[in-house]
Structure 1
Amino acid sequence: MTITLRPGTTVMFTGDSITDCRRLDSEDGLGFGYPLRIAGEWGLRHPDRPVIWLNSGTGGHKVRDLEPRWQADVLDARPDVVSILVGVNDMGWHTLDPEGRVIPVEEFQAGYDRLLAPLAEAGTELILIEPFLLPIHGVVEAGDVRVGEEERKEWRADLGPKIQAVRELAGTYGAQLLAADRMFAELAATTAPEHWAEDGVHPTPAGHAALAAAWLRLVE
């Protein structure tokens, strides 16, 4: 079942830098990525059904970073729909916590579950977007990190179970799942992966457009 966006529906996008996309520098607070594209395309298709679009994504954030700001940034807005994209910072390059340990998938999933539980209790509709990693070749810069293919193989090994955790949570909560990792893998099979995300993590304009188009297929 798709999610119906009625006139006056409030949609909250949240997560990490992919959602943030310089939102604080944008006039409407939506940033310059897929949330803006979704809002624009929806307005074009449905001028008779205006929607309130909000963005609280924050660059670099992991699941554990979302938790302390969840009440103020998400729950207090009382959104009707919450769309979450988080997890890429919980893998390889960002997984060390202050004690120097890697974040295990069980901790990732439990923290994510704590974010979803109060939304489900409030009857909020949920859209969970899989974190993703494209198979870029050679050495690239991802944020302030230079990595090669071997490091990215390690990232993939760490991210895979966390993608599965997001899928399981979507099933548990009856959420819409945007299978972004699968989508980008299919796109990268016929077009250079750099076309969609130059560093394998942060989408290009084409990558943001692909996310927006997939998201809009989940609503009506």
Structure 2
Amino acid sequence: MHITEQDTLLFIGDSITDAGRDRSDSASLGHGYVHEIAQMLRARQGPGPTVINKGLNGNRVYDLASRWTADVLDHRPTTVTVKIGVNDTWRRYDEGLLSPVDEFEDCLGSLLADTARILSARLVVITPFLLPVTTEQQEWFEDLSPRTDAVLRAALANGARVVRADLVMSRAAEEREAAELARDGVHPTALGHRLIADAWFAAVDPAAGPHPRG
């Protein structure tokens, strides 16, 4: 996949994608991996492609489904990147709110299939990840591991590129404290976001990035 200035890249997901974006400013990209990707593209390609961030704090896959037409399809993007899943797991443990893995997979798969069919858009899926910083978070893998497998199956079934954030972050945590990458185990630090951005380029368009950082 080669990204050009004529492309529109749309990113959608939960707080990891949102990354503090200004909801009142449609051009706001937040301070996370989406911003990093846009900066790298501009450094390599001048103005670069149009980049849109539609991440929303707290979203599960069903929340994405409820706003998919307005926040994805109506923008007519040429590439759609989805990062979802950790809240579907997290809500089980902090609120007892279940998101059965089979239903999760069906929902995500339908969103990807509809997007490819309606827009002929290129699809990218970023896997959920967890770097436990508490003993309790270790238990989450009982739910998150099969959910990550479901994300991979949905991506494969719909021809999506896959960004293995779970592997990238866990490998980085072999050399650093987990909190250096995600202070609460879920939300990336600046370093964590840079690693996700680099992994996105490696999976999507290696020739476009990463750009050396000062």
Q: How much has 1:29 moved relative to structure 2?
A: 1.3
1:120-165 Cα offsets, whole Å, 9 max, x none, are: 11211011000000132xxxxxxxxxxx41x212211100001001
Aligned to 1:143: none
Equivalent residues in 2 for 1:120-159, closer than 5 Å:
120-121=116-117, 122-136=119-133, 148-149=134-135, 151-159=136-144
Structure 2, unpaired ranges of 5+: 208-214
Which residue, 103, 106, 109 being the options, matches 1:110?
106
The runs of 5 or more residues in structure 1 that have no matched partner are 137-147
Aligned residue number for residue 69 of structure 1:
67
Deviation, 1:60, is 0.1
Contact kept, 8 Å, 1:105 with 1:162, in 2: the verdict is: yes
Contact residue 25 and residue 31 of structure 1 kept, 8 A: no
User: How many pairs align?
Assistant: 203
Partner of 1:41: 40
State the partner residue of 1:141. none
**Alpha-carbon distance between aligned partners in 2 of 1:171 and 1:22, rounded to the nearest angstrom:** 30
1:106 positional shift: 0.3
Determine which of 131, 141, 164 is the counterpart of 1:179: 164
The code of the aligned residue for 1:187 comes to: A
**TM value normalised by structure 1:** 0.87
Corresponding position of 1:78 = 76
Partner-residue secondary structure (3-state), 2:51: strand
1:43 CA displacement: 0.7
1:54-95 CA-partner distances (Å, limit 9, x unpaired):
01100000000111110001100010000110101000x313
Residue number among 172, 176, 194 corresponding to 1:191 in the alignment: 176
Q: Which stretch of structure 1 is more off in the superposition, 176-185 or 22-31?
A: 22-31
Secondary structure of the corresponding residue to residue 82 of structure 1: strand
**Residue 206 (structure 1) aligns with:** 191
SS in 2 for 1:23: coil
Give the drift of 1:104.
1.1
Task: Give 1:9's match in structure 2, choosing from 1, 7, 29.
Answer: 7
Structure 1 residues 180 and 40: alpha-carbon distance in aligned structure 2, compared to 1, 3 A threshold: same
Amino acid paired to 1:31: G
> What whole-Å deviation, never above 9, does each CA across 1:16-36 have from its counterpart, x for those lacking one?
000001111686311111100
Amino acid at match of 2:20: R
- Root mean square deviation of aligned Cα: 1.9
Q: Deviations over 1:29-51 (max 9, x none)?
A: 1111110010001110122x720
SS at 1:135 equivalent: coil
**2:4, 2:19 → 1: CA distance?**
26
User: C-alpha separation between the residues in 2 aligned to 1:115 and 1:180?
Assistant: 20
Equivalent residue letter for 1:44: A
1:101 positional shift: 5.3
Could you say what secondary structure the match of 2:102 adopts? Answer: helix
Aligned-residue identity in percent: 40
